[in-house]
Amino acid sequence: MTPESDAVTLTLRPFRADDDAALISWLASPEELYLFSGPRLTWPLDGAQLDELRSDATFTTFTAELAGPAELAGPAVGHIELASTGQGRARIARVLVAPQSRGRGLGELLVRAVIAEAASRGIHSLTLFVLPSNAPAIALYEKLGFEHRGPSAELQGALLMGLELPG
């Protein structure tokens, strides 16, 4: 983690309709949308799809904000979701850092924040799907201790990764 990211705190709060414009602006092409979301969201992304996602009880959707020195704190910088997959189990979904904020440790803070949120909800086992071409995301998840579990049986073409949380 860089000294810069050490200086800030990343917090998660519920994803709201007034976050839609920023989220949509962070996804510049159908390919970027697919890397982020898989088939659930379709190009062009719009508020109606995001309203539908927010109303889906399967997913808890979060917007990430920064607190810290004034020059680093500011508006939304990321998005992440948790979906229950059974008792004590959840999937991390739709991980995104604003393009202009990447490469300075925020993705790591974002995933660590949702792991902490999951632990606080009694989750002991986390999984996620990632496309094999998505080297930055795979490196991030490996750095945080996620293990490769082979091809996903649920999402064609994706890899399954998992992390067991300490009891």
Ligand X SMILES: CC(C)(COP(=O)(O)OP(=O)(O)OC[C@H]1O[C@@H](n2cnc3c(N)ncnc32)[C@H](O)[C@@H]1OP(=O)(O)O)[C@@H](O)C(=O)NCCC(=O)NCCS
Binding residues vs ligand X (CB under 6 A): 35-36, 95-97, 102-108, 130, 134-137, 139-140, 143
80 or 123: whose CB is closer to ligand X?
80
- Environment class of 2 (CB within 10 Å of its CB; exposed 0-12, middle 13-18, buried 19+): exposed
Query: Cα(46)–Cα(63) distance, rounded to whole angstroms?
Result: 17
Query: Cα(19)–Cα(12) distance, rounded to whole angstroms?
Result: 13
116 or 135: whose CB is closer to ligand X?
135
50 or 130: whose CB is closer to ligand X?
130
- Residue, CB closest to ligand X: 107
150 or 167: whose CB is closer to ligand X?
150
CB of 140 to ligand X, least distance (A): 3
C-alpha dist (Å) from residue 122 to 78, 84, 129: 24, 11, 21
96 or 123: whose CB is closer to ligand X?
96
CB of 95 to ligand X, least distance (A): 4
CB of 68 to ligand X, least distance (A): 15
CB of 58 to ligand X, least distance (A): 17
Q: Crossing angle for the helix pair 106-120 and 135-143, nearest 10 degrees?
A: 50
CB of 145 to ligand X, least distance (A): 12
Residues in Cβ contact with 34 at an 8 Å cutoff, skipping those fewer than 6 apart? 131
Report helix, strand or coil for 86.
strand
